[in-house]
Structure 1
Amino acid sequence: MAKPKKNANNEGTIYQRKDGRWEGSAYVLTTDGTYKRRSVYGKTWDEAHEKLTKLKADSLNGMPVATSKMTVSEYLGYWLLNVARGKVRRTTYVNYESLVRNYVTPEFGRKKLVRLTARDIRAFLVKTAATCQCCAQGKDKGRPEHKRRCCALGRCCNKFPSDRTVRFLLVLLRAALQHAVREDELPRNVARNVELGMGTKRSIEPLTVREGRQLLAAARDNRLWAAYELAVRIGLRRGELLGLRWVDVDLHEGVLTVRQALQRVGGELLIVAPKTQRSARRVALPQECVTALRAQRAQQIADRKAAGNNWKGTGHGLVFTTKNGTPIEPRNLNRSFEVLCVRSDVRRVRFHDLRHTCASLLHEQGADARMIMEVLGHSSIRVTMDIYTFVRLDSQRSAFDRVGDALRDDGTGPDDDGGTAGDPVAV
């Protein structure tokens, strides 16, 4: 074994190990405020020296070196259970747990937390965005043999993660590593040095006025007529609709209050708090919504009478229930909407696009952004302007026509200058 190469005092030592690598070590400042001996490794003496020099420089500049021996998987498990669980909504926690289990742990779960770099995270996000998750997670192979349809049969379905999923992964890692910094497990949050491109914005497809009229006309004989009226006219979210209670509806005054939502979380149907603080709101009810809600109440009373002892009301007093009184499964509302689109001869869009429809119709009828924000319960006016005020081509043409009328030269306008505007003049 080669002899250690002597360094000056306080510079540490560098020597070659039995496995051929070079190890450099020095006493450096750690996150608990004490000085401890830490090691770095390189394939050559120069590489080990470069790493050791950086380690010493960080220590001299007051940047402590982490001493945690936990792996990324171990730390994220601790963070999920002891930190995130008490801070975020249940739905967000379930999403975090799924992302850690399906994406992060398989990639670098065994890596030491202190060895995780911004380069690791950036490469992971790029790789994830370009990887079919059905193949990576073996989803098709997990299905019964007679139901396998793609990856297990050698036909990749190209099920790539959405831009939102990739961004959510970065949000998760930033939050988790920032807590590690606060608890002195890490000297800095390397995830904060990772930036993502703009990505592809999901197209917004609100219904036109004609399509909205057709949809609501076809919905009049549907059990969920009132739900469609509320979605189109005041833009309630799916969960807000299904979690709506009669005590939160004042049909006499024509006012609805959003206080909760119904969501499937981790395999359970749960009543949860509204999405954001501003999502809890009071909204005036159009007369058409009041009429539809009165019909819904009459239908529910009839359902309860017909069910008799089989009525399974949950005690929540929900406005929208099945024929036997149980809450409506969110996916079943989606299926009902798909059928309604076919019946009404309306192009197929997502149920959430009814919310976009409400915002865009309000915008086109002259409602200002502040009012739209309050109706929809957005967290900020920026969300309203960036996402929900979709401007249709026919509205653009109408605006251009008005500009054309203003610019048309008929010789009678007060600003008519005889055609001299734009001529060069001496100065």
Structure 2
Amino acid sequence: MVASQAWRCLALVLLLLGDPAGSTRMPGRTQRKEILAEALRRLQEVFDIEALPHDVLPHRKPPQFMVELFHKVADSNGITKAPELLEGNVVRSLEDRDYFDQSYFYFNLSSVGKNEQMLKAELRVFKLNKNHVSQKSLWQHFLKVDVYELLDRGSKSQRRNLISSRLLSLYTEGWEVFNVTQTVSRWLANNSSSHGFLITTTHLSKNKMELNLVRFAKSRHNMRDSRNAFLVLFTNNNRQSSSRFLPSSREFQPAPEDATSFLPHQNEVFTSIRVNRSRRIRDTSAFSPKDQILPCQLHDLFVDFHEIGWAGWIIFPRGYKAYYCKGACLFPLGESLRATNHATVQSIVHTLKLSKEVSTPCCVPDKLTSISIMYFDDNENVVLKNYKDMVAMSCGCH
């Protein structure tokens, strides 16, 4: 049912966006705006986005880790190829919000949904090379790194709790990853106001113990750095049942006859919906041109995020091929139409006119696959989500 609602919503939005303003089949301007607003709201629900991002800076770049993860999970069109890499269906990259202190790292968790189940959390920091230190003056090439949870936020003498410790080479440079799943899970469960970490380093030289001899990359004064620390959350978004997509009696919904009366004629060309009606998925030579009846088959449908108005904050992909199913399910239903037993019986009843109320079976997707989308949220964090049942792979009569 969720997939069905998604298809209807996508079709309505794309057709409304692409329809010429002067079409005589359109309702009044006010009614059209209401329908478009409702369709966009439903589309927002399909993509599980509570608030559309605003004022995303055009020069903002996502962390390289997130870019590489997207390309491992999905192809260039967003079709998911390795969903198991996400461990759930949502990955969030939260950027460090402390721009002044080299040892403190704070993160805003307000964008994490209440219905999201925490699976894993990683603190990723970039260790800088301590190349200006003379190796002759140091006899110990390793240093100890400690990661603390800040128990309260106030002065720099906060109470803290040790989370992780490890030894690192003093002279190497690169990303270090710390598992902080338990800590972040507790923050979310208790709605904690302190979302901070403290990282300290300890090095033993010949004469004394040196503290914080090395540093980790930080952004300064809101200036972005590709090596800036970030917190990665792997979650599973337990989306509500499909009933949330069904309109209540109080919601605006045009009557069935009104829902199609204002739609453009199918031979008009729209900029936001790219349809290739000549694409044939199977041989239809058995149908004569006189009949002008095409069997149930798959057609091209491209969903363009730019035309919907979402290009400013969606990073990958720029759009995706959703495809759609159209055609007749007439008796006899061949094996190529993958008809259900119920559809076969229904087509027989319709053909024999055993009941005036029984119509032919419907041509619908019988195999769907998922897509992955990476975007900026309203806090300029990067989110990677996997959406099930968004691309039709084949059609059948049901």
Scaled by the length of structure 2, what TM-score is found?
0.25
Q: Which has the larger radius of gyration?
A: 1
Scaled by the length of structure 1, what TM-score is found?
0.24
Q: More strand by proportion, 1 or 2?
A: 2
Higher relative contact order (CA 8 A, sep 6+): 2
